[in-house]
């Protein structure tokens, strides 16, 4: 798989990363079964065999068990740690953690950030993560606290670089005012159906156009050398086999994806990923699957270069209307 240097770092990353949202099994505190552990080993091995060297995690994924099984899987590959990029996210506290009756909430306090990272390191069986991203914006964020945590984690060698997820341009600007480390990634929902980041620029100054805090975000990230990572890049599979009662735009997008997949002799997944990879922003999609064969079919996107006509045809189909 093709790689590139992540801006403002010395990290060489693959164009696509592997995400571990459900890899740890159920979202509870029951230890993962042997079957779940074996599945994780197979999935991580499959990702590595396909050339993927960037793995995306979060402390809350299956309540910490994703960290655990990924760590166990990586232990099966001696010497691999220095060849891969591990990315963690933190800041979300699930409802009922640690006590039932508490609301889901966000916590960017220094104590929580540091504790989260240290817990992930222990579960992963490593001394450091390459990137730590703040998962979702905390309405009660005190940026001095974030700066304190970043400084402690960076100086101790536990985190090499920092980023954010689901953050707006102004939230990043405010954060940058306090932290000394560059913000190198922003992980955002982006796919053919959830195309707001891209449509934003096309639909500028049109009446009736409004997406929540999207305006200028993609351009802002490009301007500031912040790599946009796309989560849910294939819209949860809705682009491939739409239900009979699915909206017309989804059916149209699925039909065109199928046509292009046959034309390029690749999977449908590859076409959906290729649409993101074709954008000059250098968007890095996060593959999220529990099937090894889908990792293989997804990375076929690395070989596809959609034409401008094909790229816009997909956007038109997904939007259900042409561009202005």
195 secondary structure, DSSP code: -
Residues 6+ apart with CB under 8 A from 137: 106, 166, 167, 168, 171
Instruction: List Cα–Cα distances, 147 to 119, 163, 213, in angstroms.
Output: 19, 12, 24
**Residues of the chain by 3-state class (helix, strand, coil), percent to 5:** 40, 15, 40
How crowded is residue 103: how many other Cβ atoms within 10 Å of its Cβ?
A: 8
Catalytic residues: 61
Alpha-carbon span 313 to 322, nearest angstrom: 8
Alpha-carbon span 217 to 165, nearest angstrom: 12
Instruction: List Cα–Cα distances, 106 to 22, 28, 92, 276, in angstroms.
Output: 20, 19, 5, 29
């Amino acid at each position: 798989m093709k790689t590139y240097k992540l801006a403002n770092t010395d990290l060489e990353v693959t164009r696509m990363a592997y995400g571990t949202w459900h890899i740890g099994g159920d979202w509870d505190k029951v230890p993962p079964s042997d079957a779940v552990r074996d599945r994780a080993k197979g999935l991580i091995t499959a990702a590595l065999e396909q050339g993927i060297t960037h793995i995306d995690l979060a402390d809350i994924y299956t309540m910490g068990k994703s960290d655990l099984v990924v760590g166990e899987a990586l232990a099966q590959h001696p010497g691999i740690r220095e060849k891969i990029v591990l990315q963690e996210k933190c800041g979300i506290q699930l409802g009922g953690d640690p006590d039932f009756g508490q609301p889901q909430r966000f916590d960017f306090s220094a104590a929580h950030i540091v504790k989260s990272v240290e817990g992930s390191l222990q579960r992963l069986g490593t001394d450091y993560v390459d990137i730590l991203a703040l998962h979702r914006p905390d309405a009660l964020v005190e940026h001095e606290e974030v700066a304190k945590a970043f400084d402690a984690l960076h100086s101790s060698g536990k985190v090499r670089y920092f980023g954010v997820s689901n953050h707006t341009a102004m939230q990043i600007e405010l954060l940058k005012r306090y932290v000394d480390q560059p913000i190198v990634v922003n992980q955002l929902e982006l796919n053919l159906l959830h195309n707001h980041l891209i449509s934003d620029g096309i639909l500028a100054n049109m009446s009736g156009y409004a997406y929540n805090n999207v305006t200028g975000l993609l351009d802002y990230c490009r301007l500031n050398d912040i790599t946009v990572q796309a989560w849910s890049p294939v819209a949860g599979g809705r682009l491939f086999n739409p239900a009979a009662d699915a909206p017309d735009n989804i059916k149209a997008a699925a039909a065109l994806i199928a046509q292009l997949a046959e034309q390029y002799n690749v999977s449908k997944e590859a076409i959906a990923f290729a649409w993101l990879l074709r954008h000059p922003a250098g968007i890095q999609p996060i593959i999220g699957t529990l099937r090894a064969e889908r990792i293989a079919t997804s990375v076929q996107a690395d070989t596809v270069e959609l034409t401008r006509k094909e790229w816009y045809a997909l956007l038109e189909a997904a939007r259900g209307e042409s561009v202005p």
